[in-house]
Structure 1
Amino acid sequence: MSKLTRLQRAFARSHIDLRYEGGVYTVRNEATEATILLPASLPLEEKAVKQLLAFASVKTPHGDAAVCAACATPDFHPGTIAPVGAVVATPMDVVIPAAIGTDINCGMRLLTTGMSLAQLAPRKSELIARLQSVLLENERNIPTHTSAFKALFDAGPMAFIDKIQPEGLWGSVDRDRLAEEVTRCIGLDSLPANSRYAPEAFVSGREVFRDPCLGTPGGGNHFVELQVVDKVLDRHAAYAHGLKAGDVVAMIHSGSRDVGFFVGGRWMDRAREAWPAGVRHPESKLYALAGPLAHEYLQAMGVAARYAWLNRVVLAEMVRREMADLFGAEKSRLVVDVPHNVVLTEQGLNIHRKGATPARHGDLALIPGSMGDASYIARGLGHADWLWSCSHGAGRRIRRQETRGIKPTPTSGADWQCVTLREERLIEEAPQAYKPIGAVIDAQVDAGLIEGVARLRPWMTFKA
């Protein structure tokens, strides 16, 4: 009996019809269908498929179908409510808050350092000590005026930059460079927001608020990683973005921290509370909002999303400052900042990406592997069948709760090192807990979602 036949029989017991052709699974139940881009060499998890079909079959409070199309990228695996690697399109007046949860606008930021591995390696221990201090040991100084936060939430990133006072970290920030880099942040300019949805401390009117989360990567799979450009895949594109083999870049993976938890939790509750009395609640716990409440949610989500951008900016500026102090490095530039856990209005639809990355035609995407595997810079090809998206990483193959049997990852090796204050991260985030990135990338290149720009290998990874 073939592997596909065994899968089909197993899924049939859950009343799910499964087909596989050309690297694409099509799954159907009585209510709906979805497509999953997944190489045959990678496992298809039934729990994730059930979550995807539940996601695709969400209805509005009035009983109408909320979802126009649903698919999943090759990093597909189960999530808490919605599966990771899922992409769902709804009409512009419908949103599903639980689809992206509380880690709103979790995303990636990549900047060049302007230096090669040969230049940095002799002072590796000093660099680790400096970055560990600011990234993991709270040795940071980020006094931020509440007027700047309010400007961020009401008017946007450029207004925030105009309000920066030259105090603490902000005293060393190149404002002109930061303003220019806003244009390389995917989707940022399309996020509505309003400060009335922000936590009170950020807009309380006090002069300065020292937010304890600002400039922190967060736990789980979030990280700050120095990587080496291992291979250039598109010479012209790499040159245009200041990338060449042997250079060191900094990749930052973080989200909206407590602001996202505040906004996401509140609006998931509100969506549940808005469900009409006497109407059966969805078993999936995925509640849709329609009409004015949907537009309100997008403004609240925008508050957390803009904060996530700022959090990545602060992390990047701390890396830049430490490297400038240590090496005199002043040639850093932003390559791209891209979200993978947000609702963006595109093509007349609300595109919900849960652990998936925009891959619109010409846009850059960042696709990391594990801390012991390669990461990729890719260019989107705008494939409509996959809702203009690609994967946000390799995807877990072993759930975090099931990693106890994994041997701890060595803190150092011949090529890369993980720096953390929590030893459990070496097990939970071990390379073997993730899918091989090569197969994930190849599947998306073959299907026409992306084309490669450069491959990066890890050098040192900082995990909180």
Structure 2
Amino acid sequence: MTTSFKRLVKALNKQNLSVTKTNSVYYVAKKICDNVSSAQLLLPEHFDLDGKALKQLMSFAGVYHPNGGAVKAVKATPDFHAGSLVPVGAVLSTTKDFIIPQAIGTDIHCGMRLHVADIDIALWQEKKPLLVEKLRGDLLLGSRDLPMAISSFTALFQHGLLGWIDETKKQPMGDLQAADFKQLESELESIFEYGSLQGGCKWAPESHTTDKRNCIRDASLATIGGGNHFVEFQYLEDIADNKQAFAWGLHKGQLSIMIHTGSRALGLHVGNYWNDKAKQAWPNGEKFPESGIFPLYGELASDYFSAMNTAANYANLNRLLLAEIVRRRIREVFGANIEMPLVYDAPHNIVTQESDCYIHRKGATPAHFGQPVLIPGSMGDPSYLMMGLGNQAFLCSASHGAGRAKPRHEMFRLNRDGQDIGLGCIDCITLKEDRLIEEAPGAYKDINAVVDVQIQNGIVSPVAKLVPLLTFKG
């Protein structure tokens, strides 16, 4: 045990937190009166234990509702770091009558999507300026043309991508007239839960459900968003599992396109409503929880699940449309025969019903057996395609990235002081210079260490390594 770790343990003990460690797994417990909350945290050996994030995790583990329901298990993935209230990289199992909206927040169903294209990298580099010129307008300047009928949104909110495709292909408008709906339908099997969760129009904004307009032009759809969201072009540098790579349509040297975004304004609408609702619904006369985290119990938990699914369906469409924009431009530049098939699309900010539990994943991706798992690095570091191994000890969950090592304000300080934050190795297209500093490679943990510790602990197995070529940041 290192001296710094001993000091941290001593400090945490004073706050009723006990910490022990076996290999790369930390076991944390907090005792209040006769109640003990516990959690497990997986970290590479040389990573520091974040005291603030740990306290947030234990507050999370101790969430309760006076009327019933309970947290059953709490885990944290290796990209674990502090959030505003709930830590990123946290996974909770609760009874299925008990949901915590603040665990998901407002970026509901944020996730990753990966496509590949058989384009020679030398040719891609040659024609990159033309592709960038076309995509700059679509991805950063709002020049995309995506009007949709009210009936398409109704079908989306209620039935997800299955409903949206069935309705929209009847009379596609704008850019969607060039879409190959047969290909979109065939790719649904490569989306988590087929991109089609059971939601409801009553949870969506009235602006998206009123029948007073023939169509809607939604300013949030097919947008990247801010923060760490991106559209990135990558080079498939290495294959670790040839058999699995072949099954997923991969081979060394391919161009890959990775998309990271979520439910945008609609998720904000749903998330804010239910964060407020959970507080308003707290039983009269009961003391507010010290953590500031308000769970839902019973029928309200079920209602939230439906509302969350509504926003999740929107997030699935957001990523699909971004990919479709890229696919259209790729075909214009490199030839109409480019297929750019989908490898996988999965969320990392979602509650799922699994067996007799609700599994809350805040910045953690599902890693069930045989399931593709996307773990992005920074825009200067590699990303990884893995295969989930269904490790129940970690609630079948893997990290959703490398995890932030430095907050945004510190990145600005380091840059002002003239320190190297990794900008020399990146090619990034953005309208906001600050975004480069906030999201520079130096802001992130060691992606290789994060991936390796999950391989060593039987959470995932490696399939392919992808290195960044060009990143679009919103």
Q: Given the alignment of the two structures, is residue 125 of structure 1 paired with residue 133 of structure 2, yes or no?
A: no
Q: What amino acid is the match of 2:43?
A: L
The answer on whether the counterparts of 2:195 and 2:316 sit within 8 Å (CA) in structure 1 is no
Specify the SS of the correspondent of 1:112.
strand
* 2:442 alignment partner in structure 1: 432
Which blocks of at least 5 consecutive residues in structure 2 are unaligned?
none
Specify the SS of the correspondent of 1:253.
strand
The answer on whether the counterparts of 1:58 and 1:67 sit within 8 Å (CA) in structure 2 is yes
The answer on whether the counterparts of 1:411 and 1:426 sit within 8 Å (CA) in structure 2 is no
Greater Cα offset, 186-195 or 144-153: 186-195
Q: What amino acid is the match of 2:89?
A: G
- CA-to-aligned-CA distance 1:330-364 (integer Å, 9 cap, x gap): 22100000000000111221100000000001100
The answer on whether the counterparts of 1:411 and 1:419 sit within 8 Å (CA) in structure 2 is no
Q: Given the alignment of the two structures, is residue 419 of structure 1 paired with residue 457 of structure 2, yes or no?
A: no
The answer on whether the counterparts of 2:423 and 2:436 sit within 8 Å (CA) in structure 1 is no
* 1:24 alignment partner in structure 2: 25
- Equivalents in 2 of 1:460, 1:162: separation in Å? 34
- CA-to-aligned-CA distance 1:58-78 (integer Å, 9 cap, x gap): 10232x462000000000000
Q: Given the alignment of the two structures, is residue 67 of structure 1 paired with residue 71 of structure 2, yes or no?
A: yes
- CA-to-aligned-CA distance 1:207-234 (integer Å, 9 cap, x gap): 1000001010000000000010011111
Q: Given the alignment of the two structures, is residue 56 of structure 1 paired with residue 61 of structure 2, yes or no?
A: yes
Greater Cα offset, 234-243 or 300-309: 234-243
1:404/1:410 CA distance change after superposition, 3 Å: closer
Alignment of 1:349-428 (within 5 A): 349-407=357-415, 416-428=426-438
In the TM superposition, residue 240 of structure 1 has moved relative to its aligned partner by: 1.6
1:153/1:133 CA distance change after superposition, 3 Å: same
In the TM superposition, residue 190 of structure 1 has moved relative to its aligned partner by: 6.8
In the TM superposition, residue 410 of structure 1 has moved relative to its aligned partner by: 9.2
Specify the SS of the correspondent of 2:141.
coil
Specify the SS of the correspondent of 2:293.
coil
Q: Given the alignment of the two structures, is residue 192 of structure 1 paired with residue 198 of structure 2, yes or no?
A: yes
Q: Given the alignment of the two structures, is residue 77 of structure 1 paired with residue 81 of structure 2, yes or no?
A: yes
In the TM superposition, residue 146 of structure 1 has moved relative to its aligned partner by: 1.0
1:170/1:157 CA distance change after superposition, 3 Å: same
Specify the SS of the correspondent of 1:40.
coil
* 2:5 alignment partner in structure 1: 4
1:173/1:412 CA distance change after superposition, 3 Å: farther
1:129/1:232 CA distance change after superposition, 3 Å: same
* 1:327 alignment partner in structure 2: 334
In the TM superposition, residue 413 of structure 1 has moved relative to its aligned partner by: 5.3
Match of 2:51 among 29, 37, 46: 46
- Equivalents in 2 of 1:19, 1:411: separation in Å? 35
Aligned CA RMSD, in angstroms, stands at 1.6
- Equivalents in 1 of 2:421, 2:329: separation in Å? 26
| TM-score for both structures, normalised by structure 2 | 0.95
Alignment of 1:41-440 (within 5 A): 41-62=46-67, 64=68, 66-164=70-168, 165-188=171-194, 191-205=197-211, 206-328=213-335, 329-407=337-415, 416-440=426-450
- Equivalents in 2 of 1:199, 1:114: separation in Å? 40
- CA-to-aligned-CA distance 1:294-332 (integer Å, 9 cap, x gap): 110001001100000000011000000011011115221
Q: What amino acid is the match of 1:437?
A: I
Greater Cα offset, 226-235 or 6-15: 6-15
Specify the SS of the correspondent of 1:153.
helix
- Equivalents in 1 of 2:26, 2:92: separation in Å? 16
In the TM superposition, residue 169 of structure 1 has moved relative to its aligned partner by: 1.5
- Equivalents in 1 of 2:277, 2:409: separation in Å? 29
Match of 2:459 among 434, 440, 449: 449
Specify the SS of the correspondent of 1:14.
coil
The answer on whether the counterparts of 1:231 and 1:245 sit within 8 Å (CA) in structure 2 is yes
Identity %: 45
1:56/1:313 CA distance change after superposition, 3 Å: same
- Equivalents in 2 of 1:392, 1:457: separation in Å? 17
Q: What amino acid is the match of 2:268?
A: F
1:123/1:410 CA distance change after superposition, 3 Å: farther
- Equivalents in 2 of 1:284, 1:184: separation in Å? 38
The answer on whether the counterparts of 1:191 and 1:344 sit within 8 Å (CA) in structure 2 is no
1:402/1:188 CA distance change after superposition, 3 Å: farther
- CA-to-aligned-CA distance 1:103-141 (integer Å, 9 cap, x gap): 000000101122131221111211211111210111100
The answer on whether the counterparts of 2:241 and 2:462 sit within 8 Å (CA) in structure 1 is yes
Q: What amino acid is the match of 1:305?
A: A
Q: What amino acid is the match of 1:406?
A: L
- Equivalents in 2 of 1:276, 1:150: separation in Å? 34
Specify the SS of the correspondent of 2:286.
coil
Q: What amino acid is the match of 1:114?
A: D
Specify the SS of the correspondent of 1:156.
helix
1:326/1:216 CA distance change after superposition, 3 Å: same
- Equivalents in 1 of 2:188, 2:21: separation in Å? 41
Q: Given the alignment of the two structures, is residue 34 of structure 1 paired with residue 68 of structure 2, yes or no?
A: no
In the TM superposition, residue 279 of structure 1 has moved relative to its aligned partner by: 0.6
Specify the SS of the correspondent of 1:17.
strand
In the TM superposition, residue 271 of structure 1 has moved relative to its aligned partner by: 0.6
- Equivalents in 2 of 1:412, 1:398: separation in Å? 15
Q: Given the alignment of the two structures, is residue 15 of structure 1 paired with residue 12 of structure 2, yes or no?
A: no
The answer on whether the counterparts of 2:421 and 2:440 sit within 8 Å (CA) in structure 1 is no
The answer on whether the counterparts of 2:162 and 2:196 sit within 8 Å (CA) in structure 1 is no
| TM-score for both structures, normalised by structure 1 | 0.97
- Equivalents in 2 of 1:413, 1:48: separation in Å? 30
Specify the SS of the correspondent of 2:79.
strand
In the TM superposition, residue 189 of structure 1 has moved relative to its aligned partner by: 5.6
In the TM superposition, residue 40 of structure 1 has moved relative to its aligned partner by: 2.0
Specify the SS of the correspondent of 1:68.
strand
- Equivalents in 1 of 2:104, 2:271: separation in Å? 8
- Equivalents in 1 of 2:116, 2:44: separation in Å? 32
- Equivalents in 1 of 2:210, 2:86: separation in Å? 34
- CA-to-aligned-CA distance 1:249-286 (integer Å, 9 cap, x gap): 10000000000000000001111000011111112221
The answer on whether the counterparts of 2:161 and 2:196 sit within 8 Å (CA) in structure 1 is no
- Equivalents in 1 of 2:319, 2:11: separation in Å? 43
Specify the SS of the correspondent of 2:246.
helix
The answer on whether the counterparts of 1:91 and 1:350 sit within 8 Å (CA) in structure 2 is yes
